[in-house]
Structure formats: C-alpha cells, structure tokens
Amino acid sequence: MGAAFVVLYRLFLRHQLTTGRLVLIGSLNAVALLIGFAVGTSDPFDPTQAAADIVWFYGLGLMAPIISLVLGSSSLGDLQSDETLVYLWHRRTPRWILAAAAWLAPTTIAIPATTFGLVGCAILAGGFSGSLFFGTLFAVAIAAIVYSAVFTLLGLLFKRALIIGLIYLFIWEQFVARAGGGAARVSIGTYPSSILAKLADVELFLADRSTVTAFVVPLVIAGLSILLTARRLDHMDVA
C-alpha cells in the first residue's frame, strides 16, 4: 500500500510539472512580488494590514485557487483525457490510494508555489511579521488542501474542468460570495481568509469564521472530495 501510494504520488508530481504550468506559477509569483514592491515603495500607513490585504485579495483570491485549479484539475483529468488512467485504474491498488495520491501531488506543489510569492510580497511590502507569516502559511495550506481536493474531483468529473473551475472561482467566489455574508457562508474562500485574519490579527472583509471552523470545514470538504473521487473512480468507465 505504502509503496503504491509513493509511486503514484511521484508519478502525479512529475506529470504536473510541465513548462506551461511552471511559467504560470512563476508569473503569478512575479506579480505578487511586483505588488509587494509597489506597496513597499508607497510607504503605507499600516504595512502589516497592507501586506495582509494583498495576501487575502491576490494570494487567497487569485493565486492559491488558480494554482490549485490548474494542478488539481489536471491530476486525474489529464490521465483521463490522454487515456493513460487505465494503467493505474486496472490494477488491484485501492481507489482511495489513487485518489489520495492524485490530491496530494497538486497540494504539495501549490503550497510552496503560493507561499513563496506571498511571503516575498509581504517582505517587500514592509509588513512581514511572524504572525503574518504563519497566517499566510496556514491560510495558503488550507486553501491548497481544499481547492486541490475539489478540483481533483472536478477534473475527474468534467472534461472542461479548468473552465468550470474558473467560472466557479470568478463568478461565485470573487463576484457573488464577496458581495455579501449569505453567499460567503457557502464559499470556500472565506475559511482561509478567516485563518489569515485570526492568525495575523488583521481585519479582512467577510473573514469572520472562528479559528476552529476555519480549519475544520475546509478539511472536511477536502476529505469528502477525496472520498467522492475514490467513489467516482470505483464506478466510472475507463477507456
């Protein structure tokens, strides 16, 4: 079991690091650093709050979900579209191992790929502190965990998962959920935002979940998504 998980995880990891995706991750990080530099040179009134605003608005609103979407939706989705999934699917390895490895690989890339740019941004913005660092780290980790799990499932369910994911992110998470409290309750983004707000001790819009809720709910969503992915693998037809 352990060997199967490790070999699958490494396969997914190698499979995801394509040139296009690396360019996308690099570009998003470069923009984060650029924003941090711009904020740093503008001498903001409250640098910590300014840095937290960037982490929230850009990092948790754009960077973490986009990176998780691009990696997560391709994790099983690419194998399904190039018809190589059958080589893994047809073996006796339990489905949940396949689902867990397919989720963990994008998560492992998304966490450092997002944190690096945002921490650099916070340093450049002059608002870097221990609490902001841990707030960013945990918020990004939770965002990557939950988004990767949801988008891994999405990649297995839909051929156009990338498009559907973007529509979800920009129409629901960015447009509708940020318009008011009701919609925000059913938005994934509010939970990492609440972690950032609580751990970094800053004020963020609609980031009012308790610390426990902000950690537990995304983990439950991620767990359910992995289970649904395993179940889908069990019941699906594979070409």
Partner 1 sequence: MTEQPPPPGPARPEAPLPPTRPTQPVAPAHPVAPVQPVAPARPVQPVSATNNLPPPPAAWPPPDATVVAYDVSLSFGSLVAVSNVSVAVRPGVSALLGPNGAGKSTLLRMMSGQLSPSSGRVWVAGGDPRQDAEARNRIGLVPQQDGVFEQEKALSIVRLAAILSQLDNVEERARWALNLVELDPDIERPVGAFSKGMRQRVKIAQALVHDPMVLMMDEPLNGLDPRQRKQMISLFHDLGSQGKTVLVSSHVLEEVERLGSHVIVIARGRLAAQGDFRGIRGLMDNQPLRFRVSCDNARAVAASLIGAGSVVGCTVESATELQLTTADASRFRREIASVCKSHDVRLVEVAPLDEDLESVFRYLVGGG
Partner 2 sequence: MSNTTPSPSAPSSNGPSESSTSAQIFDQGYRRYTGPRTGVIGAEKSLITFSAKTALGMGRAARFKIVPVLIIISAFVPAVVFIGVAALFGEEIEGFGFLPTYAGYYGYVIAAIYLFAGFVAPELLSPDRRTGMLGMYLAAPLNRPTYLLGKAIAVVAMILIVTLGPTLLMLIAYSLEDIGPSGFWDWIATLGRVILSSLVFGSMFAAVGLAISATTDRSMIATATILAIFPASAIVTDLLVDVADLTPHLRLANLPNLPRDLVFRIHGERGLWATRDNPTWTLWAAWFGWMSISVSFIWFKYRRLLVRR
Shortest separation between residue 7's beta carbon and partner 2, angstroms: 30
7 binding partner (options partner 2, partner 1, none; Cβ < 5 to 8 Å by kind):
partner 1
Residue written as tokens 């889908």? 232
- Residue 85: CA count within 13 A, CB half-sphere: 22
**Among residues 60, 56, 69, which one has the least CA distance to residue 21?**
69
Q: Determine if 210 is a binding residue for partner 2 (CB under 8 A).
A: no
Minimal distance in Å, beta carbon 124 to partner 2? 11
How far, in Å, CA of 169 to CA of 36, rounded? 23
Residue among 90 and 182 whose Cβ is closer to partner 1? 90
Q: How far is the CB of 168 from partner 2 (least distance, A)?
A: 10
Buried b (16+ CB within 10 A) or exposed e, 162-189: bebbbebbeebbbeebbeeeebbeebbb
* Contacting partner 2 within 79-108 (CB under 8 A): none
DSSP at 203: -
Contact 67, 25 (CB under 8 A): yes
In order of 56, 70, 75, 130, 197, the CA distances from 150 in angstroms are 20, 12, 11, 30, 23
Least separation in angstroms between residue 177's CB and partner 2 is 13
Comparison of 81 and 213: residue with beta carbon closer to partner 2: 81
Binding site for partner 1 (CB under 8 A): 3-4, 7-8, 11, 14-15, 82-84, 86-94, 235, 237-239
Interface mask toward partner 2 for 21-60; x: CB under 8 A: ----------x---x--xx-xx-x-----x--xx--xx--
Q: How far is the CB of 135 from partner 1 (least distance, A)?
A: 37
- Nearer to partner 1 (CB atom), residue 144 or residue 233: 233
Cβ proximity to partner 2, 43 vs 237, nearer residue: 43
Residue 234 CB, nearest approach to partner 2 (Å): 26
**Residue whose CB is less far from partner 2, 204 or 222:** 204
The 8-class DSSP code of residue 93 comes to S
Handedness of CA 225, 163, 68, 180 (dihedral sign): negative
**Which 138-197 residues touch partner 2, going by CB under 8 A?**
160, 162-163, 166-167, 170-171, 174-175
CA 42 → CA 33, 49, 143, distances in Å?
A: 14, 14, 29
CA end-to-end distance (rounded Å), the chain: 25
Binding residues vs partner 2 (CB under 8 A): 31, 35, 38-39, 41-42, 44, 50, 53-54, 57-58, 61-62, 66, 160, 162-163, 166-167, 170-171, 174-175
